[in-house]
Each structure stands twice: as structure tokens, then as C-alpha cells.
């Protein structure tokens, strides 16, 4: 095996990094994951993830965790309502008879990010995760790299794999190509104990997700684990909006007034979200990789997930692509497909860039459709199969 007697360092313990660690350990590779969170109990942010048969679920199968996944996914979380700005329901599949049809490419079971993380963490060998490891820099040493962390420690690794997200500190060692702003910003909020805190919207959501469209703006939301509700106000704006808006993201009253001003046609029904949010709100400018990105591969460093191909969230491909990266990279590094590690890394990166570009293009196109004047009609046609 190419990784025999090699120490692998994965920087970042998100879905991609943890999946890769699990897959490499199944092939008896020596791997450590360096994660900036203080411990396993750190709160996991973000909406539930819908797993795709050809990517996320394929990696889960290969990791031997499919049965575990089936006990942790959220039945019914993929149920969807499409509304307009007045909260009028235009499409609902809540009454559609559905089965847990694993193996069907159209079935995309959802799992809470925290549940997925816990499942992956518990599948790893003890001491695989090195917590409180905020990566600062690395330098070439011998045939590998010496990594330096904010806590003052330094470690050596023969191979470094960056799984450290959209603001990756590993990526600049590989390429100076930067993501570009998509033109869309999302303002994220979370409501805990949503049944009590936001009863009307909780009842409407009914364990699934809501997509509301009106006047080029969206509200998107979904049920999370433990009765939490995650929502996003999504709109087109300047790249520097979050810094220049003058808003105090810890002040829900101020954010509600902003919403009333910027979403003037929208029903007061939506106010319940802003009145019961757990602050702070999180502004998220949405970025995408250039669709033609390329670079000359390094022999002992590579990247997966958002570090390699950050993309808008409008096709549900982010975590799925990261886990597929993990699956393919693990296979290239532990099989006999390639004679050397540099060849394996180059082959992985070539394939990864090609499929990531297709997914990013789809995401960008979906984002434009969802923020167009005809968004409601377009999305209704899409979900109706027209």
C-alpha cells in the first residue's frame, strides 16, 4: 500500500475529514485529524444534510456505517413546502405517501450535522482526533511537512490533507486561485425549542423544510435535531454587505426592523422567526470556485471539500462532494491503481476538479433561479417535474 509507514495529517474535522480518516483507518493507514474545536462537545452549526446515493451515501456504505446512518437519519425531514411571501402554500408533498427508499437515487435522506459528526467520531480509533489544534502554518521538512498549531505544538506528517473549509489555510500552499462572490448573501438564524418559541412556524414546518420566494428574495428553513429550527434570509447584495450594513447581529429587534424594511411585501407571519431567534445571526456571503480552476499537484499535499471547491448551497452538494472526495482519495491512496503517492494525488485532483466544476455550475444556476423575479414559478415547475 502506498501509505505503508506514512503518517497522514488531516487538517479539519468536518464530514469530509472524518470520513476520510475512517476510510483510511479501515485500510490500516496511520492518520491523525487536527481539529480546532476544543472537544467533541462543540456545537455543530448549520442545517441538516441531505445525503445523495452516488456521493455521501456511497462513502457511508464504504465506511461500513450504513446501518448506523439508518438509525440516525431524520425521517420526513425532506418533506417540502413552497410558499410565497404571504405564506400562502403553493406546493406541499407532506401528504405524499413515501417510503424510506434507500438505493433510489431520488431518495435523499437527511441527517443532522451533529448526529453525522458523532457517528463518524465514534467510528474512529481512540486518539485519532487531536482537539484544540488550530492550524497556523507548515514548512517542508525531510520528505514531508512540519505543521504548527496555535496551541504551541508542532507535528510532522508525510502527507497533509486540508479539510479545513472555505477559508482553508492549507489551500494557499497548493494554489493562489480564490473563490469568487456569487452575488448572494444569506443571513442565518437558529431557534431552539421551536415548538414553544415559534409555534406557528413550527407547526407549518411540520418536521420538514420550507422554501419561500418573493420579489427576488427568499426565506429558507428546515427542522434540525432536538426541536431546533434553522432559517436563512437569502438575497442578492454587495459582497461587503455584512460589514457595511451597520447591523448588530446580536440584536434581534434591529434585525427584525431590517427585515421589515428589506422584505416589505412579506407577511408579518415571518416575524416570529426574528422575534424568537437565538442570537447572534450569522451573515454568510456565498462564494463559488472558478469553474475552470486548475493547478499543478504537489506530491504530498492535497485538499478536499470546501477547501478544494467551495460552492453555493443551492444544489445540496457541499457535504456530499466532500464525502465523495474522501471516498475517491482514500481509494487512490490505498489501492494499487497508482504506483506513487504523487500520481495518486494528481489523479484524484484532476477528477475532483472536473466533477466539482459541474456541481458548482448547477449550484450557481440554481441560485440565480431562486433569486429571480420568477423564482416562485420556476421552483414550482422544478418540484412539479415540469
Asked if 378 contacts 369 with a C-beta cutoff of 8 angstroms, the reply is yes
Binding residue numbers for FAD: 50, 113, 306
Would you say 29 and 134 are in contact if contact means Cβ atoms under 8 Å apart? Answer: no
| Fold for the domain defined by 181-288 | D-Amino Acid Oxidase; Chain A, domain 2 (3.30.9)
- Nearest-CA neighbor of 76 among 53, 108, 119, 106? 108
Please give the Cα distance from 9 to 20 (Å, whole number): 11
Contact in structure between 240 and 312 (CB atoms under 8 Å): no
Angle at 340 between CA 336 and CA 343, to 5 degrees: 100
Q: What is the DSSP string of 237-281?
A: --TTHHHHS---TT-HHHHHHHHHHHSTTS-GGGHHHHHS--SPP
pLDDT at 103: 73
Binding-site residues:
43, 50, 113, 306
Grid cell of 184 as nine digits: 448572494
Q: Does domain 7-74+111-178+290-370 have CATH number 3.40.50.720?
A: no
Query: Cα-flanking dihedrals φ and ψ of residue 306, to 5°?
Result: -60, -25
What pLDDT was estimated at residue 99? Answer: 63
**Which residue matches cell numbers 484544540?**
132
At residue 66, what are phi and psi to the nearest 5 degrees? -65, -45
- Residue 97 has what pLDDT? 55
pLDDT at 339: 95
Query: Taking the mean position of all CA atoms in its chain, how far away is CA 24?
Result: 21
Give the C-alpha separation, 308 to 303, whole Å. Answer: 5
Residues 376, 90 contacting (CB under 8 angstroms)? yes
All structural domains of the chain with their residue ranges: 7-74+111-178+290-370, 181-288
The pLDDT tens digits for 104-117 are 767 789 999 999 99
Return the half-sphere exposure (C-beta side, CA atoms, 13 A cut-off) of residue 232. Answer: 22
Bond from prior residue into 280 cis (ω within 30 degrees of 0): yes
For the chain, helix, strand, coil in percent to 5 are: 35, 25, 40
Q: pLDDT (tens digit, 9 = 90+) per residue, 307-346?
A: 999 999 999 899 999 999 999 999 999 998 999 999 999 9
Per-residue pLDDT of the chain (386 residues; tens, 9 = 90+): 899 999 999 999 999 999 999 999 999 999 999 999 999 988 777 778 999 999 999 999 999 999 999 999 999 888 999 999 999 999 998 876 556 677 776 778 999 999 999 999 999 999 999 999 999 999 999 999 999 999 999 999 999 999 999 999 999 999 999 999 999 999 999 999 999 999 999 999 999 999 999 989 999 999 998 899 999 999 999 999 999 999 999 999 999 999 999 999 999 999 999 999 999 999 999 999 999 999 999 999 999 999 999 999 999 899 999 999 999 999 999 998 999 999 999 999 999 999 999 999 999 999 999 999 999 999 999 887 76
Nearest to 353 by CA among 276, 291, 306, 269: 291
Query: Which pTM value belongs to this model?
Result: 0.94
Angle, in degrees to the nearest 10, between helices 15-26 and 113-122: 20
Give binding residues for NADPH as ranges.
43
Amino acid at each position: 500500500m502506498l501509505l505503508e509507514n506514512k503518517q497522514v495529517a488531516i487538517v479539519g474535522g468536518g464530514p469530509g475529514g472524518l470520513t476520510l480518516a475512517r476510510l483510511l483507518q479501515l485500510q490500516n493507514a496511520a492518520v491523525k485529524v487536527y481539529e480546532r474545536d476544543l472537544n467533541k462537545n462543540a456545537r455543530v452549526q448549520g442545517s441538516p444534510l441531505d445525503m445523495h446515493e452516488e456521493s455521501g451515501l456511497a462513502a457511508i456504505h464504504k465506511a461500513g456505517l450504513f446501518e448506523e446512518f439508518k438509525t440516525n437519519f431524520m425521517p420526513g425531514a425532506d418533506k417540502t413546502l413552497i410558499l410565497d411571501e404571504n405564506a400562502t402554500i403553493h406546493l406541499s408533498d407532506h401528504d405524499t405517501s413515501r417510503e424510506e427508499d434507500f438505493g433510489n437515487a431520488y431518495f435523499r435522506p437527511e441527517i443532522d450535522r451533529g448526529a453525522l459528526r458523532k457517528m463518524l467520531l465514534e467510528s474512529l480509533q481512540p486518539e485519532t482526533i487531536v482537539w484544540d489544534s488550530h492550524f497556523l502554518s507548515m514548512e517542508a521538512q525531510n520528505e514531508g511537512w512540519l505543521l504548527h498549531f496555535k496551541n504551541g505544538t508542532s507535528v510532522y506528517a508525510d502527507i497533509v490533507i486540508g479539510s479545513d473549509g472555505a477559508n482553508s489555510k492549507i489551500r494557499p500552499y497548493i494554489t493562489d486561485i480564490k473563490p469568487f462572490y456569487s452575488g448572494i448573501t444569506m443571513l442565518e438564524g437558529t431557534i431552539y425549542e421551536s415548538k414553544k418559541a415559534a409555534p406557528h412556524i413550527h407547526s407549518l414546518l411540520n418536521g420538514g423544510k420550507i422554501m419561500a420566494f418573493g420579489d427576488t428574495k427568499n426565506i429558507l428553513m428546515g427542522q434540525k435535531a432536538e426541536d431546533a429550527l434553522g432559517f436563512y434570509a437569502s438575497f442578492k447584495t454587495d459582497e461587503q454587505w455584512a460589514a457595511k450594513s451597520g447591523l448588530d447581529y446580536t440584536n434581534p429587534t434591529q434585525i427584525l426592523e431590517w427585515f421589515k424594511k428589506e422584505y416589505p411585501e412579506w407577511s408579518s407571519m415571518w416575524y416570529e422567526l426574528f422575534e424568537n431567534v437565538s442570537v447572534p445571526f450569522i451573515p454568510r456571503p456565498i462564494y463559488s470556485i472558478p469553474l475552470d480552476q486548475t493547478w499543478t499537484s504537489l506530491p504530498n499535499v492535497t485538499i478536499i471539500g470546501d477547501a478544494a471547491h467551495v460552492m453555493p448551497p443551492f444544489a445540496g452538494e457541499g457535504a456530499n462532494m466532500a464525502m465523495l472526495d474522501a471516498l475517491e482519495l482514500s481509494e487512490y491512496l490505498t489501492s494499487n491503481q497508482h504506483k506513487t503517492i504523487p500520481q495518486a494525488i494528481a489523479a484524484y485532483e484532476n477528477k475532483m476538479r472536473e466533477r466539482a466544476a459541474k456541481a458548482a455550475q448547477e449550484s450557481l444556476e440554481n441560485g440565480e433561479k431562486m433569486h429571480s423575479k420568477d423564482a416562485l414559478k420556476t421552483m414550482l415547475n422544478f418540484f412539479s417535474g415540469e
